[in-house]
Amino acid sequence: MSSLNKINLIIPSLIILLFLFSSSFFSISNVYGHKEIKVGNYTLEAGWEEEPPLLNLLNKIVVYVFDENDNPVRNAMKDLSPSISYGGVSKGLNFIPSEESAGLYVTDIIPSKLGSYILGLKGAIGTQSVNNEIQIEDVEDANRITFPVVSGGSEANIENIAKQITPIMSDLSNQIDELKNEINSTKEIIQKSSDEANSINSEVERTNILSYIAVGLGASAIILVGFMQKIKKT
């Protein structure tokens, strides 16, 4: 067999070995920090999907369930009531079966506090009663792996935002006060114009009355003159 043929046979084998090694490596790293407990004939393994879990970042809690023969258990969460607790505060969880892996159950969560979280499982798997707690890996601050790190962290960011917002709010308040003053001035002008209009209407009405009186007097004078001329002719 030629050297070229040997190389052609060796390369696919190396690729397969590398693939298996990398798959095994990522599988091991993926369960880093997972905790495993035995409940009767079942093995439960729980932890975060993304590790280390980071503060205020979306993550998933995963639970693997296997029987005594290391076979994945389907519908293991059917009769379980899972919950997550932190510092005495607890919250119910809704695990759903993974579409990729049998015996794997996942639920979304955003950890909002640093430190330890405890997964509680109560109920039953098949005929096996379950009432266990599993302490999963501690949640860490994202600044530990953030680059470049923002000076002062989130508190500094909030303070900077507050400093930027304060002059904007102050300017907005001044604009509102100016607008109120303009509205009050406009009201005064409208009221003054209304008063003047009413005064003009009164003058017009008075003038109309005087005009009517003048016309009446003029008509009376004409009648009187005509009457006097008629008397003279007589």
DSSP state of 68: T
Rounded average pLDDT over 70-99: 96
**Residue 27's pLDDT band (boundaries 50, 70, 90)?**
very low
| CA 153/CA 137 separation, integer angstroms | 23
Q: What is the pLDDT of residues 200-231, one digit of tens each?
A: 777 767 777 777 777 777 777 677 766 666 66
pLDDT surpasses 70 at 152: no
197-198-202-205 Cα dihedral, nearest 10 degrees: 70
Check whether 16 has a pLDDT greater than 90.
no
Asked whether residue 104 carries a pLDDT value surpassing 50, the answer given is yes
The number of CA neighbours under 13 Å toward the Cβ of 134 is 25
Average pLDDT of the chain is: 80
pTM of the model: 0.52
Q: Which of 17-21, 68-72, 84-88 has the lowest mean pLDDT?
A: 17-21
- Residue whose token pair is 């059917």: 78
Phi, psi dihedral angles at 194 (to 5 degrees): -65, -40
Q: State the average pLDDT over residues 71-86.
A: 96
Tokens (6 digits) for 50: 């993304």
Is the pLDDT at 17 greater than 50? The verdict is no
Structural element, H or E, at residue 188: helix 153-233
> What would the mean pLDDT of 102-125 be, rounded to a whole number?
96
Which position has the higher pLDDT, 104 or 177?
A: 104
pLDDT of amino acid 26: 41
Query: CA quadruple 65, 70, 75, 81: dihedral positive or negative?
Result: negative
Query: Residue 150's Cα: distance from chain center in Å?
Result: 23
Both tokens assigned to 197: 């209009």
